[in-house]
Structure 1
């Protein structure tokens, strides 16, 4: 049964009779993604569930299903082509994709990249298979068409680098979609689309193929990822960040002009958020507040307390007591 909740659709195979489940799953994928031929050894009682979130032109979903073979044929492409790139994080199970130009195997925490415009066979194994995925219109990713073959079928690790950034966004979004208001969804699309563009730029190893604005956004995302990875470093400064990326400090500041904070303010906000999480964590209740502050780049306790009160309207001590007392 489908339950349409504004831009959210949920499907569970057990909500329909066993004999109808596989055909209905095939129909669902044809409507939410693109028409496909499906094959499975579990047709008589197919088990699957899927949640689809619409973020304007971008679609994000999670799916759990029994092993399948997905096929997009030239005939189906001629009949209906939504002109999208499909990126899927393999959470559980494994599989393989076969195109005319490439065959690629996938394992858990790989990102699978496909195109609705290219004939392909995708094999999934494992019971169940679990994925988190998104589809982005090609019109939002201004890449030359002859580059598609270099991207589609590429296996990307979601354990580090650009693949990890994309995977973290997808898993956090799909884990609690109720945390976002309907008005947030178009804004979320403006976050994920540059992430995909940056990943493609990384794969192509040719940023010159992208428009200047996309190249700048890709660099900004790389800078932000670097900052998150080095928050513990007390020597993390705009000049050290710029030097690590072989750009000038003035250019770094220009890149952050479109963000909602300066470079230094962005670093301070991330550090405060990390410290706030540690203060509320029972596993860290025996760690002194000044030690948590120092861990997140605030060597002076007075500076930490002042910044914390300015950001959250309370002291670190009061927040810790309230968080742990409320949990108790």
Structure 2
């Protein structure tokens, strides 16, 4: 479990908004500014990594930001983002829908679609966000598409449970241990799934079986925690969860993917993220590949190209040139 902190006061006043935008581009996903922020922009942002998910909190001056189709093509982490406004609110447009949200009006966005977001408040806006991987998420994409930008009340029912969890999670970070990350991620995914299913009015016959879903989430959290272990195999995973290998495969059949394929996807996604990280630019690609379970450079290059349509070196070179501030937005 890793916590990162960004404070605008540590940056010259004329560079604060760009520094904040670039930091989000590295830690969340690239965003483009509207260009209407003046000097003296202020923000404090904290980010927690919980396995493959992230939870972040920010206090920020009002701003208008956007993620264009071009930025989506350049870099897409493949996540759903839940936003919980605490103080102030926002105007949001995505998937040909527009909405205005106030305090505790939670809503979900899709990183694979352009978005226009205007943060509203005086003198500042306070938000909590949660980014969860779309890959392996229990609810199917067509269901999630129905939820984009919709108001999800955070003061009642399941929404109150989720907002309370996020408030506590971001408030008391000093007491967490690294081993808490996967368990907290599993709890986050369970609450998100419950909230989304509730608002989709999914009945028991169409919603995923809760017991099976809980096991899937537990196994996925275990896999994310052990992705760097070369001994991470279906027999080892089954033994760690006291189930048979055949039952493990049946559980993942319900997710529409094999265990080995899911592991490979997660390892590739982490390797791709590290290759796009400017702080790891000097780390050789083969070292990153080996770190994420690809000891043979040729195997990694072939697998990466099959998955993303571009060789690893070309991808890293492309991303490094795109991280430079755009000349016009």
TM-score tier by shorter-chain length is 0.5 to 0.7
Shift of residue 48, structure 1, vs aligned partner: 0.4
- Distance in 2 (CA, whole Å) between partners of 1:74 and 1:214 is 38
How is 1:308-319 mapped onto 2 (pairs within 5 angstroms)? none
Among 182, 207, 210, the alignment partner of 1:210 is 207
Q: Which residue of structure 1 aligns with residue 141 of structure 2?
A: 145
1:175 pairs, out of 171, 174, 179, with 171
* 1:43 partner SS: coil
What displacement does 1:144 show?
Answer: 2.3
User: Per-residue displacement from partner, 1:149-187 (whole Å, max 9, x unpaired)?
Assistant: 211111111111111111000001111111111111111
Tell me the alpha carbon deviations over residues 250-308 of structure 1, each in whole angstroms, 9 at most, x when there is no partner: xxxxxxxxxxxxxxxxxxxxxxxxxxxxxxxxxxxxxxxxxxxxxxxxxxxxxxxxxxx
Return the alpha-carbon distance in structure 2 between the equivalents of residues 122 and 19 of structure 1.
Answer: 22
Unaligned runs of 5+ in 2: 215-329
C-alpha distance in 2 between matches for 1:113 and 1:79 = 22
CA contact (8 A) 1:101 1:149 kept: no
The yes-or-no answer on 1:154 pairing with 2:154 is no
Using the alignment, how far apart are the partners of 1:75 and 1:40 within structure 2? 17
- The partner residue of 2:116 within 108, 112, 121 is 121
Distance in 1 separating the partners of 2:151 and 2:71: 25
Distance across 2 between alignment mates of 1:198 and 1:187: 17
Higher relative CO (Cα under 8 Å, sequence separation at least 6) belongs to 2
Distance (Å, rounded) in 1 between the aligned partners of 2:2 and 2:16: 23
Partner of 2:103: 108
Note the C-alpha offset of 1:101.
3.0
How many corresponding residue pairs?
213
Structure whose CA Rg is larger: 1
For 2:212 and 2:150, the matched residues in 1 are separated by 21
2:55 equivalent to 1:60: yes
Q: CA deviation at 1:50?
A: 0.3
- Higher helix content, 1 or 2: 1
SS at match of 2:88: strand
Any stretches of 5+ residues in structure 1 without a counterpart?
Answer: 1-5, 218-328
| Contact persistence 1:42–1:66 (CA under 8 A) | no
Aligned residue in 2 for 1:301: none
Residue by residue, what CA displacement relative to the aligned partner does 1:43-92 show, whole Å, maximum 9, x if unpaired?
Answer: 31110010001111110111010111121111111111111010111000
Separation in 1, partners of 2:5, 2:55: 12
CA RMSD of aligned residues (A): 1.9
CA distance in 2, matches of 1:210, 1:85: 19
Change (3 A) 1:191 1:80: same
- Runs of 4+ with >6 A deviation: none
CA 1:40/1:166 → structure 2, altered by over 3 Å: closer, same or farther?
Answer: farther
Query: Structure 1 pair 137/162, CA: closer, same or farther in 2 (3 Å)?
Result: same
Q: Return the TM-score normalized by structure 1.
A: 0.62
The answer for the alignment partner of 1:188 in structure 2 is 184
Say whether the 8 Å CA contact 1:8–1:53 is kept in structure 2: yes
